[in-house]
Amino acid sequence: MGNRQRALENLVLNTFWKNKRVLLTGHTGFKGSWMSLWLHQMGAEVYGYALKPDTKPSLFDQLQLEQKILHRIGDICEAETLAAYVTEIKADFVFHLAAQSLVLRSYRETLNTWNTNVMGTAHLLEALRKVAHPCTVVVVTTDKVYQNHESDHAYTETDSLGGIDPYSASKAGTELVVGSYRSLFAQENLPITLASARAGNVIGGGDWCENRLLPDIARALMQGKSIETRNPSAVRPWQHVLEPLSGYMMLAQMMTTDKTLAAAYNFGPEPRDNRTVEDVIETALKTWPGVYHANVDAAAPHEAGLLKLAIGKAQTKLGWQPKWNFETAVANTMIWYKEAAAGRAALDITRDQIKAYEVA
Ligand SMILES: NC(=O)c1ccc[n+]([C@@H]2O[C@H](COP(=O)([O-])OP(=O)(O)OC[C@H]3O[C@@H](n4cnc5c(N)ncnc54)[C@H](O)[C@@H]3O)[C@@H](O)[C@H]2O)c1
């Protein structure tokens, strides 16, 4: 049986992660909360490091993760505190998700964005270097790391890095930090395998961040208000949160047996699922009807208009494949918010969706 096939089967059977020590930075955020629960359900010992949840509600609280995983509330910019935790945990796997993750906020908190996304990553990798414990590391960046030409081209991993807004540019900076530390670990013969993962626009229930499309839709519907959208014709590679998370885990798992896989990978949807903001809203309203207005703001800060991601490398090298198409991803996201708004426990909804994804 080939590595790829074995990885796939292990992921499906949930056996690989049992008893693995996993450090997850950013575990109090949207993706980190889904990932903490999923890894916990697969039997991993999950250790988190992040700031306190900063949304109300927060998925971290809704999934009762305080009772399920071990974690430390801390700032990745505080190098000594972070290094002490990394030394204490000595994880076999590290998934680095902690970041200032919002484009519009990056215009307001520009230095914090650079500091968290670039120096925070450097502090983590430096701490791992000092500990020198054998481990496999996946640093999460974004589809926005590419120099965006506003063309129909789907970006591949060899395209130039860039970024106009501070978030995108800082994440391109994160990639440079990762590339440099990968060479450094090799030069120093350290047993650390390091990759980066560039995911598309992630959607899913329990995202409560400001100025993100699906949370904005859900908030408007819950309050019986009209949905206002800034940029209806913007095209993005939408995908359900479980898709990139499965990619991150598969990449980490496969790197344990094949270290040559340590590189950068895009994780996004099939080409037909690169869709407009308006498509997202219309599809969302099929699950939860409401009204919306396009409210184009010409004075708004710059955000990319057209962004497509090529996923051939993850498909060929890892055997990774998106499982839920655009309609299913949007429908499951809206079902999550609608059921939660009706009083169903978020933990039950999330568990059901993880189960459905595993079956798919
Ligand atoms: N959501 C998306 O559409 C998307 C798409 C591509 C990539 N990403 C990337 O995935 C990762 C997770 O995204 P998310 O949507 O869960 O974001 P989020 O904003 O919900 O969560 C961010 C997490 O990082 C932590 N964090 C922020 N600053 C920190 C600091 N100084 N010290 C320690 N922890 C800090 C927060 O506490 C939180 O746990 C980020 O790296 C983001 O850039 C997200």
Task: Compute φ and ψ for 138, nearest 5 degrees.
Answer: -120, 120
State if residue 244 touches ligand 1 by the CB under 6 angstroms criterion: no
Q: Using CA atoms, how far apart are residues 187 and 325, in angstroms rounded to an integer?
A: 42
The answer to whether 240 and 267 have CB atoms below 8 angstroms apart is no
pLDDT given for residue 94 in this prediction: 98
- Copy the structure tokens of residue 358: 């595993």
Atom of ligand 1 nearest to the CA of 53: 37
In a domain, 339, yes or no: no
CA distances from 297 to 168, 229, 291, 294 (A): 21, 9, 19, 9
The pLDDT of residue 229: 83
pLDDT at position 258:
96
Closest C-alpha residue for ligand 1 atom 42:
101
User: Which amino acid is located at 252 in the chain?
Assistant: A
Residues 1-10: contacts with CB within 8 Å, 24+ apart? 3/254, 3/257, 3/258, 4/254, 4/318, 4/319, 5/319, 6/257, 7/250, 7/253, 7/254, 7/318, 7/319, 8/250, 8/319, 10/253
Distance 31 CA to ligand 1 centre (A): 7
The answer to the question of residue 88 being in a domain is yes
CA–CA separation, 80 vs 315, rounded Å?
Answer: 39
DSSP 246: H
> Any idea which residue has 């980066």 for tokens?
196
- Taking alpha carbons only, the member of 137, 311, 281, 149 closest to residue 220 is 281
The helix (run of H) or strand (run of E) holding residue 87 is helix 79-89
Read off the DSSP letter of residue 162: -
Q: Does any domain span residue 257?
A: yes
With a cut of 70, list the residues of the chain below it in pLDDT.
1-14, 296-299, 301-305
Ligand 1 pocket, 65 CB below 6 A?
Answer: no
- CA 255, CA 191: separation in Å to the nearest integer? 12
Atom of ligand 1 nearest to the CA of 140: 41
In a domain, 301, yes or no: no
Domain membership of residue 357 (yes or no) is no
Question: Could you tell me the two tokens for 226?
Answer: 């009209």
Residue 229 pairs in a beta bridge with 294
The protein residue with its alpha carbon nearest to ligand 1, atom 37, reads 51
- Residue type present at position 315: Q
Ligand 1 lined by 140 (C-beta under 6 Å)? yes
**Structural domain includes residue 227:** no
Domain count, the chain: 1
pLDDT at residue 1, as a whole number: 46
Q: What pairing do the DSSP bridges indicate for beta strands 227-229 and 292-294?
A: parallel
Using the mean position of ligand 1's atoms as its centre, give its distance from the Cα of residue 147 in Å. 21
CA of 3 to the centre of ligand 1 (A): 30
Whether residue 220 is contained in a domain is answered as: no
Domain that holds residue 86: 3-203+240-272+309-324
Cα dihedral across residues 183, 186, 188, 190: positive or negative: positive
**pLDDT at residue 339, rounded to an integer:** 98
26 Cα: distance to centroid of ligand 1 (angstroms): 6
* Residues 228 and 220: beta-carbon distance below 8 Å: yes
Please tell me the distance from the alpha carbon of residue 327 to that of residue 197, in angstroms, as a whole number: 24
Residue 51, ligand 1, Cβ within 6 A: yes
The neighbour count for residue 355, using CB atoms within 10 Å, is 11
pTM of the model: 0.95
How far is residue 49 from each of residues 53, 239, 273, measured CA to CA in Å? Answer: 11, 25, 33
> Which of 116, 198, 113 is closest to 154 using CA atoms?
198
261 occurs within a structural domain: yes
Per-residue model confidence as pLDDT tens digits over 158-194: 999 999 999 999 999 999 999 999 999 999 999 999 9
Ligand 1, atom 30, residue with closest C-alpha? 75
CATH number of the domain to which 57 belongs: 3.40.50.720
Spatial separation of the C-alpha atoms in residues 153 and 161, rounded to whole Å: 14
For ligand 1, atom 32, which residue shows the shortest CA distance? Answer: 75
Residue 210, both tokens: 């400001």
The radius of gyration of the chain's CA atoms, rounded to the nearest angstrom, is: 19
Instruction: List C-alpha distances in Å: 126 to 76, 87, 130.
Output: 12, 11, 6
CA-closest residue to ligand 1 atom 21: 29
Pocket of ligand 1 contains residue 199 by CB under 6 Å: yes
Ligand 1 proximity of 308 Cβ (cutoff 6 Å): no
So what's the pLDDT on residue 151?
Answer: 79
- Give yes or no for residue 103 CB within 6 A of ligand 1: no
